[in-house]
């Protein structure tokens, strides 16, 4: 009988600890979810000690002034078209691409590329283009490296994800 009471007491304590643990877990997750859903505005950039003060508006103007836009031309004999942008704010390179392209087969994808103008050109994949709800294809690529030395933009039709450009569809240069 004593053993049975001990088992019941242990079970009650275990149940209580479990309920308190679940309640705590749910509360912490609710707070984290709420924090992630609340938009936060950067009101003031706080530079590290000894670094120069940066005016956010001036930085945004610099990004806008460094943004370039080009038109991409179909080189495959079709009627595809697109636009590409690039900008660099001193620490972040941003490249966007939007294109009107034919629908793809199940084993195909479109890929974006940036190409340097060196004697031995360097090719950087900017990733796969994603279909949008409007029927266009789009891509956003960011890098911590200034890639203004890669002014040529290419969109290819790919069947293999092997890091090598296949059939060129669109091209343009900044």
Question: What range does the domain containing 5 cover?
Answer: 1-46
pLDDT tens across 55-93, in order? Answer: 555 555 555 557 899 999 999 999 999 999 999 988 999
Q: Are residues 104 and 41 in the same domain?
A: no
Q: Convert 5-19 to b/e letters by CB count within 10 Å (16 or more is b).
A: eeeeeeeeeeeeeee
Section 31-41 average pLDDT:
52
Q: Which of 107, 172, 105, 116 is nearest to 148 (CA)?
A: 116
Q: Cβ atoms within 10 A of the Cβ of 150, count?
A: 24
0.75 surpassed by pTM:
no
Instruction: Give the model's pLDDT for residue 119.
Output: 87
40, 63, 124 from 90: Cα distances, Å? 23, 9, 20
Q: Are residues 107 and 168 in the same domain?
A: yes
CA distance 7 to 13: 10
Report the CATH number at residue 126: 2.60.40.200
pLDDT tens across 38-50, in order? Answer: 444 444 444 545 5
In the chain, the number of structural domains is 2
Q: Are residues 41 and 71 in the same domain?
A: no
More confident residue, 8 or 102: 102
**Is residue 141, in this structure, part of any structural domain at all?**
yes
Q: Are residues 115 and 165 in the same domain?
A: yes
DSSP string, 4-62: HHHHHHHHHHHHHHHHHHHHHHHHHHHHHHHHHHS--------PPTTSPP--HHHHHHH
Instruction: Name which of 69-73, 91-95, 153-157, 159-163 the model is least confident about.
Output: 159-163
Instruction: Give the model's pLDDT for residue 66.
Output: 72
CA distance 26 to 18: 12
Percent above pLDDT 90 for the chain: 50
């Amino acid at each position: 009988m004593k053993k049975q009471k001990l088992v019941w007491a242990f079970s009650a304590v275990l149940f209580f600890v479990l309920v308190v643990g679940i309640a705590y877990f749910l509360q912490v997750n609710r707070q984290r979810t709420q924090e992630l859903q609340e938009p936060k505005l950067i009101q003031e950039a706080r530079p590290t000690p000894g670094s120069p003060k940066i005016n956010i508006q001036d930085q945004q103007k610099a990004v806008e002034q460094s943004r370039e836009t080009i038109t991409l031309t179909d080189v495959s004999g079709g009627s595809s078209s697109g636009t590409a942008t690039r900008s660099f704010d001193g620490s972040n390179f941003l490249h966007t691409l939007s294109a009107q392209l034919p629908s793809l087969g199940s084993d195909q994808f479109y890929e974006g590329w940036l190409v340097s103008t060196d004697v031995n050109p360097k090719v950087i994949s900017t990733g796969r283009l994603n279909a949008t709800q409007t029927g266009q294809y789009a891509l956003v690529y960011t890098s911590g490296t200034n890639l203004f030395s890669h002014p040529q933009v290419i969109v290819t039709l790919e069947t293999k994800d092997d890091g090598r450009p296949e059939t060129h569809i669109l091209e343009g240069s900044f």
